[in-house]
């Protein structure tokens, strides 16, 4: 009889973490691995944020804080939503967790009952379905095709909603595709959701500030009639290059925020006090570097997309945001190449070309793979050369 719980048997390890771990092992063994699997900015945390953390340590801000965030950080989050999104929240409508993932986990553990359905558009971030499964819910995957720019349509949304639907997750800009919903597209989805009062919306806005080509970010809580049913999640990891600091936050209905705090009080308790002090400075301090870094990401995106579309057998859309592309490798799967799946494609790419990427099937859509271009242009140039040589060897 296994000691492992039945609930744990319902889920799998993170595929993105598995790729990163494999690449690390091969690198340690002396291989020249170029890692394009991690969803982490390669820029350092800005100095003013580091200094705020150092000052907090010197002042002795090293004790327990309120379970779901210090008043100072909640106030900074409140101001952020007002300043950038035109959204007004009371402090008891705001929660802070140990990264965006914990906020998501707490949310679904606190609100999902056995059999509740959660609509997840695919391609999706790998952890969404597994968190729902751990909570006892049922992920309802809705595949969004490349011809739809990997975005959910109102027709598909309405078809997916049932009496058991509890939540829908919207992630814009998206991990893994970089696709982002325009204001008009959000409004069209909202027309469907307004009709179904039993459905709550989780808006994952973690890549809000990483957009290109004058794209105007819009979040669904800005639809007035849906704000009371929307939990808007964000964090400092991506925009402020603070992945290791582990601070995520959300704002939404008081009942949900209170339930999240109850879950967190029995798990991690408060996020790290020093990280919270740093996050206050991140949200309140200068924001100038965000656009500068987005400009750098845009150059990398353009370079990667242009090169991928010049490689025989590959094709790639030009995404609106985040730091990922999601190229198709369907033409390289079949009898001729002896590669049956995208998983086999990325495994051979790692073995033969020493480039680490993640298969599309890990994100719920077979025949693609995800590249993170959050690395140096030098690494990207070398990676594109290797990918081209590998694909040429297959055709």
**Using one digit for the tens of pLDDT, what is the confidence trace for 129-187?**
999 999 999 999 999 999 999 999 999 999 999 999 999 999 999 999 999 999 999 99
Average pLDDT, the chain: 96
Q: Is the predicted pLDDT of residue 346 greater than 80, yes or no?
A: yes
Mean pLDDT over 83-93 rounds to 98
Q: Which domains are seen in the chain, by residue range?
A: 6-44+289-394 (3.90.1150.10), 63-284 (3.40.640.10)
> 168 and 117 in contact (C-beta within 8 Å)?
no
If 0-12 CB within 10 Å is exposed, 13-18 middle and 19+ buried, where does residue 73 land? buried
pLDDT in tens, 220-256: 999 999 999 999 999 999 999 999 999 999 999 999 9
> 360 and 15 in contact (C-beta within 8 Å)?
no
pLDDT in tens, 349-382: 999 999 999 999 999 999 999 999 999 999 999 9
pLDDT in tens, 312-329: 999 999 999 999 999 999
Mean pLDDT over 10-33 rounds to 84
Cα gap 123→369, rounded to integer Å: 11
> 369 and 329 in contact (C-beta within 8 Å)?
yes
- DSSP helix/strand/coil, 250: strand
- Which of 201-229 are b and which e, b meaning 16 or more Cβ less than 10 Å from the residue's Cβ? bbbbbbbbbbbbeeeebbbbbbbeebbeb
Task: Say which DSSP state 9 is in.
Answer: H
Q: Is the predicted pLDDT of residue 10 greater than 90, yes or no?
A: no
Q: Name the helix (H) or strand (E) containing 291.
A: helix 288-308
If 0-12 CB within 10 Å is exposed, 13-18 middle and 19+ buried, where does residue 125 land? buried
pLDDT in tens, 261-299: 999 999 999 999 999 999 999 999 999 999 999 999 999
Q: In the beta sheet, which residues pair with residue 141?
A: 120
Using pLDDT thresholds of 50, 70 and 90, give the confidence band for residue 1.
confident
DSSP state string for 28-69: HTT---EE------SSPPPHHHHHHHHHHHHHT--S---TT-
Mean pLDDT over 208-226 rounds to 98
Of 154, 211, 138, the C-alpha closest to 179 is 211
Using pLDDT thresholds of 50, 70 and 90, give the confidence band for residue 12.
confident
Q: Is the predicted pLDDT of residue 23 greater than 90, yes or no?
A: no
Using pLDDT thresholds of 50, 70 and 90, give the confidence band for residue 7.
confident
Mean pLDDT over 298-316 rounds to 98
């Amino acid at each position: 009889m296994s000691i492992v719980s039945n609930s744990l048997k319902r889920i799998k390890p993170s595929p993105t973490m598995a790729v990163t771990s494999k690449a690390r092992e091969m690198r340690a063994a002396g291989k020249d691995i170029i890692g394009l699997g991690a969803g982490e900015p390669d820029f350092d945390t800005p100095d003013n944020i580091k200094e705020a953390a150092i000052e907090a340590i010197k002042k002795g801000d090293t004790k327990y804080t309120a379970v779901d965030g210090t008043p100072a950080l909640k106030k900074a989050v409140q101001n952020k939503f007002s300043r950038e999104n035109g959204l007004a929240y009371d402090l008891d409508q705001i929660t802070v967790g140990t990264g965006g993932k914990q906020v998501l986990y707490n949310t679904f553990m606190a609100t999902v009952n056995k059999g509740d359905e959660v609509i997840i558009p695919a391609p999706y971030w790998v952890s969404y379905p597994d968190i729902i499964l751990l909570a006892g819910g049922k992920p309802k995957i809705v595949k969004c095709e490349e011809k739809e720019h990997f975005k959910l349509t109102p027709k598909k949304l309405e078809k997916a909603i049932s009496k058991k639907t509890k939540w829908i997750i919207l992630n814009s800009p998206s991990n893994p595709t970089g696709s982002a919903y325009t204001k008009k597209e959000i409004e069209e989805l909202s027309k469907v959701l307004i009709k179904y009062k039993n459905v709550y919306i989780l808006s994952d806005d973690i890549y809000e500030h990483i957009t290109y080509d004058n794209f105007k970010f819009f979040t669904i809580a800005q639809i007035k009639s849906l704000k009371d049913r929307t939990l808007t999640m964000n964090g400092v990891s991506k925009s402020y290059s603070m992945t290791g600091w582990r601070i995520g936050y959300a704002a939404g209905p008081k009942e949900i925020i209170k339930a999240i705090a109850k879950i967190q009080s029995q798990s991690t308790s408060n996020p790290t006090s020093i990280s919270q002090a740093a996050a206050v400075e991140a949200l309140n301090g200068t924001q100038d570097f965000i656009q500068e870094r987005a400009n750098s990401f845009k150059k990398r995106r353009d370079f990667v997309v242009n090169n991928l579309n010049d490689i025989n057998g590959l094709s790639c859309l030009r995404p609106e945001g985040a730091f990922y592309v999601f190229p198709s490798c369907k033409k390289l799967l079949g009898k001729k190449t002896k590669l049956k799946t995208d998983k086999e494609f990325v495994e051979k790419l790692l073995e033969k070309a020493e480039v680490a990427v993640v298969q599309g099937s890990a994100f719920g859509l077979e025949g693609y793979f995800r590249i993170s271009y959050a690395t140096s242009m030098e690494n990207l140039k070398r990676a594109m050369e290797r990918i081209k040589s590998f694909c040429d060897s297959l055709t």
